[in-house]
């Protein structure tokens, strides 16, 4: 059975971009693959955060993922920091990747522009991500479009390591959805919906109450010509709404456009569709959040299983690169 691995940062509330771009695929892949899903709390350290809040966020992310439909009997759900091989393999890969490669990463360029005193970890972030993937011999990695470049880097570094030291790593493929791979911000349709960008009105969170979802959709930026057609370049705001409606109803955005005359009607129906889509997740979230012990047990069992797999891969890589094995 092909192994799948993916990860999510617990750096803020999960939003529709995460859900549509990645989590829906995670849930679907549980039956077809040997699936490993990771709350990447080490990645979240690359930007400023309050320690107590970090812990809460990681727990909330676990509740959120379970509520979305991850089932610990069908997948391995764990916290990255609970499996020490992630940082251990990162070092071997940092001694394989080059500065030039990391300098080309557009997410680094973008995030480092927005912060002063850029942390070294933000620069080496993609190498930790490569370690996440390679430790589990993942053949497939379900992600949104924004992770495409990181996946390419992972493949290059893995190939270089294999060429130099022998066949240690499986070369992974990114699995990016055809619709919803890049969900845009409702207020700034030229940029992706994101946890870190300060655009609360443009970001629909998975746990937003119905009134907030309605408010955000109603206030979404469109255009003034009032013409209903799907044209992401010329009409990015409207295209975002049509994309979301297409995902919520399982149709194509062009078909959705044919059903509507006025933007207001589309917004009304989209808000209702999103409320319906998210309501069951919100109900289950409340149940998991109330049962902290059960969620912690899921993470503990997940880490134990992940550790077994990761240990074996790390040992293979350490031996291949020429580290003296402990006696």
> Which residues make up the interface to ligand TYM (CB under 6 A)?
5-9, 17-18, 21-22, 40, 43, 129, 132-133, 141, 143-144, 146-147, 150, 181-183, 192-194
Per the annotation, the verdict on 216 as an active-site residue is: no
List the strands of the sheet with 75-79, edge to edge: 75-79, 34-39, 3-8, 140-142, 173-175
Per the annotation, the verdict on 111 as an active-site residue is: yes
Measured from the CB atom, the residue of 36 and 260 that comes closer to ligand TYM is 36
**Pick the catalytic residue: 195, 216, 235, 267?**
195
Q: Distance (Å, rounded) from C-alpha 285 to C-alpha 278? A: 10
Q: Distance (Å, rounded) from C-alpha 195 to C-alpha 177? A: 20
Q: Distance (Å, rounded) from C-alpha 151 to C-alpha 22? A: 14
Virtual torsion, Cα 158, 32, 292, 13, nearest 10 deg: 70
Rounded to 10 deg, the angle between the 148-165 and 85-94 helix axes is 70
Can you say how many angstroms the Cα of residue 174 is from the centroid of all Cα atoms in its chain?
12
Measured from the CB atom, the residue of 96 and 203 that comes closer to ligand TYM is 203
Quick check: 44 and 10 in contact, CB under 8 A? yes
Q: Distance (Å, rounded) from C-alpha 282 to C-alpha 206? A: 7
Quick check: 207 and 13 in contact, CB under 8 A? yes
Q: Distance (Å, rounded) from C-alpha 238 to C-alpha 189? A: 9
Q: What residue is closest to ligand TYM based on CB? A: 21
Q: Distance (Å, rounded) from C-alpha 133 to C-alpha 155? A: 10
Which of 74, 35, 79, 81 lies closest to 60, judged by CA? 79
Measured from the CB atom, the residue of 185 and 214 that comes closer to ligand TYM is 185
Measured from the CB atom, the residue of 193 and 274 that comes closer to ligand TYM is 193
Measured from the CB atom, the residue of 26 and 230 that comes closer to ligand TYM is 26
Measured from the CB atom, the residue of 74 and 192 that comes closer to ligand TYM is 192
Q: Distance (Å, rounded) from C-alpha 164 to C-alpha 157? A: 11
Which of 116, 160, 161 lies closest to 314, judged by CA? 161
Can you say how many angstroms the Cα of residue 290 is from the centroid of all Cα atoms in its chain?
25
Catalytically annotated residues? 111, 192, 195
């Amino acid at each position: 059975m092909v192994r799948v691995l993916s990860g999510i940062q617990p750096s803020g509330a999960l939003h529709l971009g995460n859900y549509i771009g990645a989590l829906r695929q995670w849930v679907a892949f549980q039956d077809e693959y040997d699936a490993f899903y990771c709350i990447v709390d080490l990645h979240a350290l690359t930007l400023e955060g309050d320690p107590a809040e970090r812990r809460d966020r990681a727990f909330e992310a676990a509740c959120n993922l379970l509520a979305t439909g991850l089932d610990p009997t069908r997948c391995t759900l764990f916290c990255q920091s609970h499996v020490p091989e992630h940082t251990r393999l990162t070092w071997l890969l940092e001694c394989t990747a080059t500065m030039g490669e990391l300098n080309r990463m557009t997410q680094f360029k973008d995030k480092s522009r927005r912060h002063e005193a850029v942390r070294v970890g933000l620069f080496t972030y993609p190498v930790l991500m490569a370690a996440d993937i390679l430790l589990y011999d993942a053949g497939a990695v379900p992600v949104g479009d924004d992770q495409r470049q990181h996946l390419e880097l992972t493949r290059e570094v893995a190939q270089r390591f294999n060429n130099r030291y022998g066949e240690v790593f499986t070369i992974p493929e990114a699995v990016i959805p055809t619709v919803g791979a890049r969900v845009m911000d409702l207020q700034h349709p030229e940029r992706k919906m994101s946890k870190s960008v300060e655009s609360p009105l443009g970001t629909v969170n998975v746990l937003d109450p119905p009134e907030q979802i309605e408010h955000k959709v109603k206030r979404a930026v469109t255009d003034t010509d009032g013409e209903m057609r799907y044209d992401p370049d010329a009409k990015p705001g409207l295209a975002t709404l049509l994309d979301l409606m297409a995902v919520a109803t399982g149709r194509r955005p062009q078909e959705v456009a044919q059903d509507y005359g006025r933007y207001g009607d589309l917004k009304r129906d989209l808000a209702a569709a999103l409320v319906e889509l998210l309501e069951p997740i919100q109900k289950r979230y409340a149940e998991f959040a109330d049962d902290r012990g059960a969620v912690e047990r899921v993470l503990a069992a997940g880490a134990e299983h992940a550790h077994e797999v990761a240990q074996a891969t790390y040992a293979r890589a350490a031996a291949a690169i020429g580290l003296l094995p402990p006696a």
